[in-house]
Amino acid sequence: MSSTKNCVIAHDYLTQKGGAERVTLDMVKAFNPELIITSVWNENSTFNEFMDYSIKESFLKHFKVFRRDPRFALPLLPFAWRFMKKIDSGVVLCSSSGWSHAIRTSSRTKKIVYCHNPARWIYQDQDYFLKSGKLVKALWALAKRPLRFLDKIAARSADCYVANSTSVAARIRHAYGIEARVVFPPVSIDVHAPREPVVALEPGYFLVVSRSRGYKGTQTIIDAFCQLPDHRLVIIGGDNFGNFSPNIRSLGHVSDAQLRWLYAHAVALVSLSREDFGLTPIEANAFGTPALVLRAGGFLDTTQEGTSGLFVDEATVPALVRAVADFPDHWDKKRIAANAERFSLNAFTANLSAIIDDVIGRKGST
């Protein structure tokens, strides 16, 4: 991008340390925006680096419950974004898997949406509300149709859509009828930074890095390892699941230094989710650690079978039990790390900058 002084970056909500928030932080560092806009920000639960920038929030910031968990505000999110002041800047770069793409802009402002996924709670709500009660599901069924209508209007206000994977590009096409370009997100983890060992944990475990929502498939992995007493499982992120059997350990949240140590000393990273892109296998690969992932979604872009990891064909306990039991002992760590290099921050910045410059240079929007 030739100039960043007239850039604004918008993200759905800054209340967690997820993959989308990591990518948003990389955007912020790359393009140095004059302002970050979000529906609600909880500085205690997302990345500290955001505090170095000017952040503007919606009216949702006045409600503590939404700062703790913005999912409670789902029906209000389109209105939170629509009621915010119209942005008059050169470019608005929206990091979106929810409603930041609904931000209003002036006629001179170009809106580019970097889409992690069309809102999962609208288009894949059977996964998102898997553990919700009947009343919540019934109320959501009533709200979903008008929210889809508003979502499509917001999507069509963009000058350009960019998907984070070929899988997400297909979902954008299906949801909005928009052809999106694909720019893979970066792997920003620093393999050379300090590592902090986890107390009383020996190397040689399988690793899960995930928030504990139903579509992440963590429970299926736990159930599989309950049948694999000779293989250890370590779970980090989301809720503390507890120790369901002696070979399973749940750590909850860990520091970045501990995460680096955990990646470096794992047998493999395991995921059975249908990820929009899936940063964690690439982060593991950066440390020379292979991945064992579901043959679906963004993993098809990021995992080179037999080189950087292996696929599981079904998200079932029997399939994972077989895959873990047969997982190879020896891997070429250099070839695994080389796969991660395809997703560098420099490549991400260059590809996204080229798209921004292209959109800015157009006489009209598309």
Residue 277's pLDDT is what? 82
- Per-domain residue ranges of the chain: 7-186+345-360, 205-342
CATH 3.40.50.2000 is right for the domain spanning 205-342: yes
What does the pLDDT read at residue 3?
A: 44
pLDDT tens across the length of the chain (366 residues): 444 558 999 999 999 988 899 999 999 999 999 999 999 999 999 999 999 999 999 999 999 999 998 888 888 998 999 899 999 999 999 999 989 999 999 999 999 999 999 998 888 776 666 566 777 777 777 878 898 999 999 999 999 999 999 999 999 999 999 999 999 999 878 999 999 999 999 999 999 998 655 556 898 999 999 999 999 999 998 665 555 799 999 998 899 999 999 999 999 999 999 887 878 999 999 999 999 999 998 899 999 999 999 999 999 999 999 999 999 999 999 999 999 999 999 999 999 999 999 999 865 444
Rounded distance between C-alpha atoms, residue 290 and residue 307, angstroms: 8
Q: Which CATH number is correct for 7-186+345-360, 3.40.50.2000, 3.20.20.410, 3.30.390.50, 3.40.50.620?
A: 3.40.50.2000
H or E segment and range at residue 251: strand 248-252
Rounded CA gap, 304 and 300, in Å?
Answer: 8
Cα–Cα dist 308/333, whole Å: 8
**How high is the pLDDT of residue 240?**
55
Structure pTM? Answer: 0.76
Do the domains spanning 7-186+345-360 and 205-342 agree at the CATH topology level?
yes
- Distance between CA 117 and CA 204 in Å, rounded? 34
pLDDT at residue 338, as a whole number = 95
Read off the tokens for 19.
Answer: 């993959």
Residue 365 is predicted with a pLDDT of: 43
